[in-house]
Chains A and B, each alone.
Chain A
Amino acid sequence: MADAAIEVRDLRKTYRTPFRRRRVEALRGVTFRVEVGHIFGFVGPNGAGKTTTIRTLMGLIRPSGGSARILGHDIPSRQARARLGFLPESPYFYDYLTIGELLDLAGRLFNLPGPLRKKRAEELIERVGLGRARTQSLKKFSKGMLQRAGLAQALMNDPELVVLDEPMSGLDPIGRKEVRDLILELRERGKTVFFSTHILSDVEAVADQVAIVARGQLQAQGTPAELVGRVLRGVDVLVRIADSVATDELTDGATRVRRVGSELSLTLAADVDVDAWLARAHGAGAKVVSVSPRHDTLEDLFLRETAAADASVAATEGRT
């Protein structure tokens, strides 16, 4: 099997609180694989372990157990870091620098030659829309501008793998759209993008693969379609029917019924024979407007998996 961009096996991180030395398990055996050229969305509520996982992969935190490989190198690896770009969560930079100076510093740390540093910096400043702020120090940047600056410094080395921790955080809807476009553009250019977020619509919009993490454990992983399309939750039907017609026969087996004038909207249970129901509706003189299957949304899955993780941890803690 070809090397994955990221391969994480049973990754664990346990902290000790400063005085009472209580054990806090931030990661409880996280395992996942990110294929080369994919966009991987790493989803989870606050405190789930997303940032701890990313910081461990980036060599900022030492794992307590398990292993991880990035671009074929065991972490922490300088060789791997030379081929990736990283945007930290709520990025903090030296606020006395301008965006050009920040990118120059990043370029120097990647040992890029001077002319290339200058060329890349110019391109990226324009690419992230900071052209008009090039003379300002980062101290005067808004949160959204800092996020853009962070994206630019992450791309200075034209990386094969881009790791973005909450890249849409602090951005307005236009900024979020631009980041989504940038992520898609990176994939077009053959790059692998790994990003964490708790904004589910962003994941649904761009990710090829999604992993849901909660309470330091991976709860689910797959394509968005695999994750949300696995179970049929019901069928939404909208019909038009004369006011005089009784609907008792049609609402039998429905989990939700709403009638406004001549429009009858209902959700049929997943086990209802939809063809038979439609035949009955036609027989009653109803005109079918729409029929759409209802699957889980990523949000449904997210909430369910998060609740399950909470319950599991509570049960474990209750036993100990």
Chain B
Amino acid sequence: MTDALGRIWAIALNTFREAARIRVLYGLVVLVVGANLMAVVLGEMSVREEARVAQDIGVAATSLFGSLTAIFLGVFLLYTEIQRRTIHAIVSKPIERWEFVVGKYLGMAMVPTALVGMFALAMVVTLTWRGAPVTPAIAKALMLAWFEVLTVAAIAIFFSSFSSPFLSGIFALAMWVIGRLTPDIEAATQTAAPAIKWTAKIALEIVPDLHLFAVSGGQVDGAQVTVHDGFVSWSYVGLASAHAAGWIAALLAIACVLFRRRDFV
């Protein structure tokens, strides 16, 4: 087992090194700064709501840009390995294909994780600068955003194990949107025809409920929750992490099975 972990770590480290070289990601760092500057500007335009605006924009930007980064990296990393044939010199070594997929996922997930970290840091700096407290609710919201990003990364890797980057990108993006709109789709199809209602129900069953990770401003168990006041409990965060872990494990398991059957010609 230690040997397998060593090989997975080698792939993860190399993948992180590869992903960190993609120049588009430096644009995302600019977005981190831009989002926080926008939070400051919008805060100035509001009346005594500077901290609230900074928190809302910070959490939303973490979730949005983190997820988009995960999709962008996830759909390309496996594909380019096969396309450029770099995989030939790797899977001919004593590494199992599932170890390769898991290593790629871990290495790739390090990049949006670093991005979430940067967003969190920028948000703390902004809030401190505005004289607003950094509350446990913000920490919980950022952790939930991180779980969402990790789940989206697994979705992207899953699609890229059998599809082209273009299609994988579309599928992953569609899953992200559907997953985010789970309660809205449920509500909208409540009074629809049975066929539509069942189709929506099935669709929502096979898509991770990503709305669980972005609950600020919505309702949990009938109660209004917001990052500014009365946010979710730590046990909710724990359950959400288990939900994310379950989906990540399932998606990676299917990706590993599909990848195992592929020919590298």
Contact = CB atoms under 8 A, between A and B. Distances in A.
B264 A55 contact: yes
A194 to B, nearest CB: 13
A8 interface: no
A79 B14 contact: no
B18 A111 contact: no
B7 interface: yes
Kindly state the interface size class of chain B when it binds its partner.
20 to 34
24 contacts: A55-B265, A58-B88, A61-B264, A61-B265, A62-B261, A78-B94, A78-B95, A78-B96, A79-B94, A81-B93, A91-B88, A91-B89, A92-B85, A92-B89, A94-B14, A94-B18, A96-B17, A105-B10, A108-B9, A109-B93, A110-B94, A111-B94, A150-B89, A153-B89
B254 interface: no
Most chain A CB neighbours (cut-off 10 Å) among B9, B87, B88, B92: B92
Contacts of B261: 62
Interface in A43-96: 52, 55, 58-62, 78-79, 81-82, 86, 88, 91-94, 96
Interface in B73-118: 84-96
A106 interface: yes
Interface in B130-158: none
B7 A60 contact: no
Interface in B5-54: 6-7, 9-11, 14, 17-18, 21
A79 B94 CA distance: 7
A92 B84 contact: yes
B111 to A, nearest CB: 15
B10 A108 contact: yes
A8 B14 CA distance: 34
A91 B261 CA distance: 23
Contacts of B9: 108
Contact of A88 (B6, B17, B85): B85
Nearest to B262: A62
A109 B86 contact: no
Contact of B86 (A52, A58, A94, A106): A94
Contacts of A150: 89
Given A91-B89, A111-B7, 17 more contacts: A55-B264, A59-B92, A60-B265, A62-B261, A78-B94, A86-B89, A88-B88, A88-B92, A92-B84, A93-B89, A94-B86, A97-B14, A105-B14, A106-B93, A108-B9, A109-B93, A111-B3
Contacts of A58: 88, 92
Interface in B241-265: 261, 263-265
A60 B14 contact: no
Interface string A99-117: 0000001101111000000
B113 to A, nearest CB: 21
Contact of B6 (A52, A91, A111): A111
Given A55-B264, A96-B18, A109 B85 contact: no
A227 B18 CA distance: 48
A100 B3 CA distance: 21
A81 B7 CA distance: 14
Most chain A CB neighbours (cut-off 10 Å) among B7, B94, B265: B94
Nearest to B90: A109
A15 B264 CA distance: 12
Interface string A136-158: 00000000000000100100000
Nearest to A108: B10
Contacts of B96: 78
A86 B94 contact: no
Given A81-B93, A91-B89, A92-B84, A109 B17 contact: no
B7 A96 contact: no
A61 B88 CA distance: 10
Interface string B54-83: 000000000000000000000000000000
A60 B94 contact: no
